[in-house]
C-alpha cells in the first residue's frame, strides 16, 4: 500500500489509440457511456422521451428495484426538465399491458439483500424507436442497466431521446472498488453517501472504508469505547450511522468492506489502550503523515483479547464476508527494540520480523474465521506460511500480484489506481489487473478478483475530495468493468467529459466546488474579471504528483487549512491536454498556418492573462502572493513557445545558443512551486526542440 513510499506508476503519457473499434459500432449518435458496455450494436432511429414516459415491470418486483427506478427517473426529470406522471399504484409504473410502455423492465429474481462477491450483474438493453426493454437476471443487473440508460439519454433540437441500439453487458471483474480513507482527514456521512452515488453511476461495487489509522479511530466500539473516545477527536461513525451507510450502499449494489489497520499504523488504537503497544506509552494521535513506530505487541495476550472482542463486534456490524486488516508499513523499530518480543521470535522459531508478522496475521485470521470472515491485507501480509483463504491487496503492482497468486492467494490490485497522487487519467486507464500479454497462468488469472482505486486523505477535505475522486475514478471503473481490449484513450477522454457532467448531476462536487474556492482565494476585492482570469490560470495548473506535496509543504498537519492555490487545481488539466494535442498536430505539419495561428493566439492569450494577474490580483490578494513566480513562469514559457512557432512557420534559423537559452528558461519555469506545476511545459519544450532542429 505504502502511502509514503509508493513509486509513481511508469506509464506512457502518449495518447494511444489501440482499442478495437468493434467495441462500439459506428453509430450516428456517438455512444458516451462509461464504463463502455461489453457489446453495443447500433440500430436506426431513436426513442423519444417525453413527459408521457411510462414504465412497465415484468417478473420480479421489489422495494430495492422500485427505489432504484425512482432515483433514476428523478435524475432524468432534473436533467430534462420534464415531469413524469405519477400513478396511484407507484411512481412512474403502469400495470397490465406493457406494449405501450416507454420502458419495460424484466427482472428474473431478487439479488442478495446485502451484495456478495460474484453475483450476476449482467443485463441487456434493447432500444427501438417504439420502446426500450431492460432485462436482467437480478435486481443488480436492472440497476446497472438503469445507469447505462441514464447516460444514453440525450437531447437535440428534436427533443429528448434514447438512440436505438442493443447492449449486452456484464463486468469483467467481480471486485471493483474504491478505498476511502476517513482517518487522515475526517470525511463525514454526507461525503460517504454522495461517493456511493458516484460509485453506483460508475458501476463500482465495493466501498472499502479505511477506518483506523495513526491519525484517527473512526468507528464506535461499544466493547472498547476508549478506542473511539480517545482516538478520534470526537470524529467517528456511530454503529447506527454505519448501518445506515451499509444499507445505503446495498440499495446501490455496493458492498462495504471495513479496514482496521493492524499491527502498524496503529497509534489511534494505543491512545486509549497503551498496554497493547510494543513500547511504553503514553501515545497521542499523530497530526502528520508517514510511517510511525507505534505497533501492536503480538506477544501480549491482552492484544488478542482486545482484538478478539473488537473484531467480533465489527463482524456483527459489517455483513460482508471480507474484512481488511491493513498489515502494511510496520517498520519494525519497536519490535526490534523490545527484548521480550525478540525472545518470543526465538522461542517460537519465527526466524525474523516477517515471521512474527505472519504469526500475528494468522492469529487474527483465526479470530476472523470464527466470525465467518475472510482476511484481506496489503502486500506485506504475503508469506508462505500465511493462512490459506487470505486475500492479498497489492499496492506493489504486477510483481505483488504474481507473487501472491503463485502461492495460491486471491488478489486485488491498487497499484496504479492511487488517485490521491494526482496522475493523469490515462495512467490509471491503461493500468490493468491482468494486462495484455500477462505472464500469469490461467489458474493465477482466476485468482485476480479485480481492483480498487485508493483515495488516501492526507491532502483532501470534504470540500475538495470530489475533485480528486472524479471523474478519473470513472475511468478506473471502466478498466475493471469493460473488456480488456477497450483501450482507446482518445475515446475514453471524450466519454469522460460526458460522464463528468452525469456525475455532477448525481451530486458530485468536483466541478461546483471550484468557483467558491477561487472567490475565497481571491478575496473580497476581486472583480468578476479577476475571477475569470484566475479561473483560466488555475485551469492550466495541476497538483504536484506522487508524494511531492509533502516536500513542498513540510510543516502541514492534520489541522492545516487546505484552501490554498493547490487545492483549487485539479489533476489532468483539460486545457493543457488540448494544447498538447494541438502541438502534436502542428509538429507533424509545421507549415499548417491555421494550427500555427491557433497555437500562437492561445499562447498570446495566456501571456496576457499572466501579465494582468501579475499586475493586479496577485499583488492585491494575500492568499495569491505565492502565485507570483508562477504567473511570471507562464509568461516566460508562452514567449518561448511563440518564438518557436515563428521560427517553424517561417523556416528561419534560430540565433546562436537560442535553444540552450530557451530550454534553460523553460526548466526554471517548469519547476513545481507552491505544490503545483504547469502540465503545458512539455509541449512548449517540444516546440522549442523542433524549432532548433536544422
Same-domain check for residues 422 and 539: no
- How many alpha carbons lie under 13 Å from residue 400 in its C-beta half-sphere? 23
Any domain includes 10: no
193 phi and psi, to 5 degrees? Answer: -65, -45
Which domain-ending residue is among 474, 504, 534? 504
Look at the chain and report how many structural domains it folds into: 3
Domain boundary (120, 135, 169) is at 169
Can you give the pLDDT at residue 92? 62
Same domain, 496 and 557: no
Question: DSSP character for 388?
Answer: T
Q: What are 657-686's pLDDT values in tens digits? A: 999 999 999 999 999 999 999 999 999 999
Minimum mean pLDDT among 27-36, 458-467, 532-541: which range?
27-36
The predicted pLDDT at position 564 comes to: 97
Kindly report the length of the chain.
694
Binned at pLDDT 50, 70 and 90, residue 4 comes out as: very low
Say if residue 496 is in the same domain as residue 593. no
Q: How much is the pLDDT for 72? A: 96
pLDDT of 591 reads 78
Residue 11, pLDDT > 90, answer no
Is the Cβ–Cβ distance between 286 and 215 less than 8 Å?
yes
Residue 9 has pLDDT above 50, yes or no: no
- DSSP class of residue 86 equals B
Give the pLDDT of residue 543. 98
Domain boundary among 144, 169, 194: 169
Q: Does residue 8 fall inside a structural domain?
A: no
Assigned domain for 11 exists: no
Is 657 within a domain? yes
Indicate if the pLDDT at residue 623 is higher than 70: yes
CATH number at residue 52: 3.30.379.10
pLDDT digits (tens, 9 = 90+) for 516-540: 999 999 999 999 999 999 999 999 9
Q: For residues 114-131, give the mean pLDDT.
A: 97
Statement: residue 29 has pLDDT above 70? no
CA distance 513 to 510: 6
371-393 mean pLDDT: 97
- In 379-432, DSSP assigns E strands to 391-394, 410-413
Q: What is the pLDDT of residue 88?
A: 52
By mean pLDDT, which of 76-90, 166-180, 476-490, 634-648 is the weakest?
Answer: 76-90
In a domain, 104, yes or no: yes
Among 15-29, 39-53, 605-619, the minimum mean pLDDT is found in 15-29
Report yes or no on 578 lying in a domain. Answer: yes
Is pLDDT above 70 for 75? Answer: yes
> 380 and 453 share a domain?
yes
Q: Is the peptide bond before 282 cis (omega within 30 degrees of 0)?
A: yes
Average pLDDT of the chain, as a whole number: 93
The verdict on 83 and 226 lying in the same domain is: no
Specify whether 245 is located in the same domain as 291: yes
The reply to whether 333 and 389 lie within a common domain is yes
Domain span holding position 354: 175-504
Give the 3-state secondary structure of residue 133: strand
pLDDT for the residue numbered 622: 95
Residues 179 and 165 both lie in one domain:
no
* Structure confidence at residue 32 as a pLDDT band (50, 70, 90): very high
Both 393 and 475 in one domain: the answer is yes
Residue 14 binned pLDDT confidence (cut-offs 50, 70, 90): very low
Please report, for residues 112, 165, 205, 317, 480, the alpha-carbon distance to residue 117 in angstroms, rounded to integers and kept in the order given: 10, 30, 9, 18, 14
Burial class (CB in 10 A: 0-12, 13-18, 19+), 77: middle
Quick one: what percent of the chain has pLDDT higher than 90? 91
- Cα→Cα distances 174→94, 186, 206, 407, Å: 34, 29, 9, 21
Q: Do 90 and 204 fall into the same domain?
A: no
Q: Is 329 a catalytic residue?
A: yes
Note whether residue 16 is domain-resident. Answer: no
> CA angle, corner 125, sides to 124 and 131, nearest 5?
145
pLDDT at 21: 32
Residues 126 and 204 in one domain: no
Does 256 score more than 90 pLDDT? yes
Residue 169: its H or E element: strand 159-169
pLDDT bracket for residue 424 (50, 70, 90)? very high
Average pLDDT over residues 28-56: 91
Domain at 577, CATH number:
1.20.58
pLDDT value at position 26? 35
Helix (H) / strand (E) element for 377: namely strand 374-378
Classify 655 as helix, strand or coil. Answer: coil
Tens-digit pLDDT profile for residues 155-204: 999 999 999 999 999 999 999 999 999 999 999 999 999 999 999 999 99
Q: Does residue 5 carry a pLDDT above 50?
A: no
From the candidates 121, 329, 380, 542, give the one annotated as an active-site residue: 329
Residues 160 and 27 in one domain: yes
pLDDT exceeds 60 at position 224: yes
Instruction: Quick: pLDDT tens for 329-346.
Output: 999 999 999 999 999 999
Does position 2 have pLDDT exceeding 70, yes or no?
A: no
Give residue 97's pLDDT: 77
Q: Is residue 448 part of a domain?
A: yes
Amino acid at each position: 500500500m505504502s502511502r509514503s513510499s509508493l513509486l509513481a506508476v511508469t506509464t506512457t503519457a502518449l495518447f494511444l489509440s489501440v482499442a478495437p473499434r468493434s467495441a462500439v459500432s459506428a453509430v450516428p449518435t456517438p455512444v458516451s457511456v462509461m464504463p463502455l458496455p461489453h457489446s453495443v450494436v447500433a440500430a436506426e432511429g431513436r426513442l423519444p422521451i417525453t413527459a408521457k414516459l411510462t414504465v412497465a415491470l415484468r417478473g420480479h418486483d421489489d422495494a430495492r428495484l422500485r427505489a432504484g427506478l425512482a432515483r433514476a427517473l428523478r435524475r432524468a426529470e432534473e436533467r430534462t426538465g420534464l415531469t413524469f406522471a405519477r400513478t396511484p399504484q407507484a411512481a412512474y409504473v403502469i400495470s397490465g399491458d406493457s406494449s405501450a410502455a416507454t420502458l419495460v423492465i424484466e427482472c428474473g429474481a431478487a439479488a442478495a439483500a446485502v451484495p456478495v462477491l460474484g453475483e450476476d450483474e449482467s443485463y441487456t438493453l434493447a432500444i427501438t424507436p417504439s420502446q426500450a426493454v431492460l432485462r436482467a437476471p437480478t435486481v443488480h443487473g436492472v440497476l446497472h442497466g438503469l445507469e447505462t440508460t441514464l447516460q444514453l439519454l440525450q437531447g437535440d433540437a428534436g427533443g429528448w431521446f434514447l438512440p436505438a441500439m442493443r447492449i449486452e453487458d456484464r463486468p469483467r471483474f467481480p471486485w471493483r472498488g474504491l478505498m476511502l480513507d476517513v482517518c487522515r482527514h475526517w470525511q463525514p456521512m454526507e461525503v460517504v453517501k454522495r461517493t456511493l452515488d458516484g460509485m453506483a453511476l460508475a458501476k463500482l461495487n465495493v466501498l472499502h472504508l479505511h477506518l483506523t489509522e495513526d491519525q484517527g479511530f473512526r468507528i464506535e466500539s461499544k466493547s472498547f469505547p476508549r478506542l473511539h473516545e480517545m482516538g478520534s477527536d470526537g470524529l467517528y461513525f456511530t454503529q447506527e450511522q454505519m448501518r445506515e451507510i451499509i444499507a445505503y450502499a446495498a440499495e446501490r449494489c455496493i458492498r462495504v468492506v471495513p479496514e482496521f489497520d493492524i499491527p502498524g499504523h496503529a497509534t489511534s488504537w494505543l491512545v486509549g489502550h497503551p498496554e497493547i503497544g510494543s513500547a511504553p506509552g503514553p501515545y497521542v494521535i499523530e497530526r502528520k503523515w508517514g510511517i510511525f513506530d507505534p505497533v501492536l505487541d503480538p506477544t501480549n495476550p491482552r492484544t488478542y483479547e482486545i482484538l478478539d472482542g473488537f473484531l467480533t463486534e465489527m463482524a456483527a456490524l459489517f455483513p460482508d464476508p471480507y474484512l481488511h486488516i491493513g498489515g502494511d508499513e510496520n517498520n519494525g523499530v519497536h519490535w526490534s527494540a523490545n527484548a521480550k518480543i525478540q525472545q518470543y521470535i526465538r522461542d517460537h522459531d519465527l526466524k525474523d520480523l516477517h515471521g512474527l508478522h505472519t504469526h500475528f496475521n494468522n492469529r487474527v485470521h483465526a479470530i476472523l474465521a470464527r466470525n465467518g470472515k475472510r482476511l484481506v491485507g496489503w502486500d506485506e501480509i504475503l508469506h508462505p506460511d500465511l493462512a490459506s483463504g487470505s486475500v492479498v491487496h497489492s499496492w506493489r503492482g504486477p510483481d505483488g500480484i504474481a507473487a501472491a497468486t503463485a502461492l495460491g492467494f486471491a488478489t486485488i490490485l491498487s497499484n496504479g489506481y492511487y488517485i490521491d497522487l494526482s496522475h493523469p487519467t490515462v495512467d490509471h486507464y491503461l493500468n490493468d489487473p491482468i494486462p495484455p500479454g500477462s505472464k500469469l497462468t490461467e489458474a493465477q488469472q482466476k485468482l485476480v478478483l479485480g481492483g480498487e482505486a485508493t483515495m488516501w486523505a492526507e491532502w483532501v477535505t470534504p470540500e475538495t475530495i470530489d475533485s480528486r475522486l472524479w471523474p478519473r475514478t470513472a475511468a478506473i471503473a471502466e478498466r475493471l468493468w469493460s473488456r480488456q481490449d477497450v483501450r482507446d484513450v482518445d475515446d475514453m477522454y471524450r466519454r469522460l467529459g460526458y460522464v463528468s457532467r452525469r456525475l455532477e448531476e448525481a451530486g458530485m462536487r468536483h466541478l461546483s466546488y471550484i468557483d467558491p474556492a477561487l472567490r475565497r482565494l481571491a478575496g473580497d476585492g476581486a472583480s468578476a474579471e479577476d475571477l475569470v482570469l484566475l479561473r483560466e490560470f488555475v485551469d492550466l495548473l495541476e497538483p504536484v504528483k506522487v508524494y511531492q506535496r509533502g516536500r513542498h509543504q513540510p510543516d502541514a498537519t492534520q489541522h492545516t487549512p487546505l484552501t490554498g492555490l493547490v487545492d483549487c487545481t485539479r489533476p489532468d488539466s483539460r486545457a493543457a491536454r488540448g494544447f498538447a494535442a494541438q502541438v502534436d498536430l502542428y509538429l507533424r505539419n509545421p507549415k499548417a498556418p491555421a494550427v500555427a495561428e491557433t497555437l500562437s493566439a492561445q499562447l498570446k492569450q495566456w501571456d496576457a492573462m499572466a501579465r494582468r494577474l501579475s499586475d493586479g490580483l496577485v499583488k492585491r490578494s494575500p492568499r495569491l502572493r505565492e502565485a507570483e513566480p508562477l504567473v511570471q513562469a507562464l509568461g516566460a514559457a508562452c514567449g518561448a513557445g511563440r518564438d518557436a512557432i515563428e521560427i517553424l512557420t517561417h523556416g528561419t534559423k534560430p540565433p546562436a545558443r537560442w535553444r540552450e537559452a530557451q530550454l534553460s528558461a523553460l526548466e526554471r519555469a517548469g519547476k513545481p512551486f507552491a505544490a503545483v506545476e504547469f502540465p503545458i511545459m512539455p509541449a512548449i519544450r517540444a516546440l522549442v526542440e523542433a524549432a532548433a532542429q536544422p
